[in-house]
Amino acid sequence: MQHKIIFMGTPQFSVPSLEVLEKSSYKISCVYTQPPKESNRGYKLNSSPVQKIAENFNLVVRSPSSLKSDEELNYFKALNPDIVVIVAYGQLIPKNFLNIPKHGFINIHASLLPKWRGAAPIERAIINLDKETGVSIMKIEEKLDFGPVMKKVKIDITPHDTSGKISEKLSKIGAENIVGALNDILTNSAKFIEQQHDLATYAKKIEKNESKIDWGENAENILGKINGYNPSPGAWFVHNKIRYKIWRASIFEKKGLAGTIQDNNFMIACNDKSVKILEIQREGKKKLLLRDFLPGIKFKVGDSVK
């Protein structure tokens, strides 16, 4: 008998897993995703990446703003799923949903649990200067990212990795492992191991106001933030009352007064070393490589940035 799956996901990170499942022998009864959002200028509503791909596959899509209604509960029960797969859905699952699927809810989480439970595990790992991260395939329980884990896949984090790059890698790894995980669960051969809850750390949501660069920090920490806040919201500073975002950078050994421009290549001193900018964006303008940026900015060596 063909097993019935509900898939719940929203951003691009979720799409590869949905694509793999749609091509597998499992039947996707319904896809849940977050409601469409207004575009920046408010002219139209934008469906989530998951909704777009699900509609391309002619799958049933449901996008409630909340699951906490009798209507949603009854609809979910009527689907009678064998198992639910969650990949970055964006809502907590209410307690009264958890026992509906015969084999529960399975989640692909973008960290090595119990480290970095929560909303922004990739960003927090990079900002924290972690040397590795990965994917955890786990059961959903009532508490956030609390359930037992059946599989972890590790990858290294290099000084050149941004949140965007790591997200792409982990998204692919999750997709490569989801069908095998389902096979094990549905044949009762999966082994789930309880997390060491006393070692848990939490990856709180990224707020825009935390992405301003503090040049009094060490260069390694600043580079971690530049990489961690790429692609969103972008690490930034101010020069001559104009805001700039740094998208890519490297560390240079030159020392100087923190927050001052060190040379004609717009290198900026930190607490210990300097940050060499590779790609930058002036507010209201497009991203530019440093060589294309320099002719359009007026500055003097020794100028301060904030």
- Residue by residue, DSSP assigns 147-174 as S-EEEEEEEE--TT--HHHHHHHHHHHH
- pLDDT (mean) for 12-25: 97
pLDDT at res. 41: 63
Q: Summarize pLDDT for 273-294 with one digit per residue, the tens.
A: 999 999 999 999 999 999 999 9
Residue located via tokens 């294309």 = 292
Q: Summarize pLDDT for 225-241 with one digit per residue, the tens.
A: 999 999 999 999 999 99
pLDDT at res. 162: 98
Q: Summarize pLDDT for 148-162 with one digit per residue, the tens.
A: 999 999 999 999 999
* Ranges 38-42, 145-149, 252-256, 275-279: which has the least confidence: 38-42
Percent of the chain topping pLDDT 90: 96
pLDDT of residue 1 exceeding 80: no
pLDDT at res. 172: 98
pLDDT of residue 211 exceeding 80: yes
pLDDT at res. 208: 86
Whole-angstrom distance, CA of residue 98 vs CA of residue 75: 14
pLDDT at res. 303: 95
Instruction: Please give the domain boundaries of the chain with CATH numbers for all domains.
Output: 4-203 (3.40.50.170), 208-296 (3.10.25.10)
Q: Summarize pLDDT for 263-274 with one digit per residue, the tens.
A: 999 999 999 999
Average pLDDT over the chain reads 96
pLDDT of residue 42 exceeding 80: no
Residue 27: count of CB within 10 angstroms of its CB? 13
Buried b vs exposed e over 65-89: b needs ≥16 C-beta within 10 Å? eebeeeebeeebeebebbbbbbbbb
- pLDDT (mean) for 37-44: 72
Q: Summarize pLDDT for 47-70 with one digit per residue, the tens.
A: 999 999 999 999 999 999 999 999
* Ranges 26-40, 138-152, 153-167: which has the least confidence: 26-40
Tokens matching residue 120: 């922004």
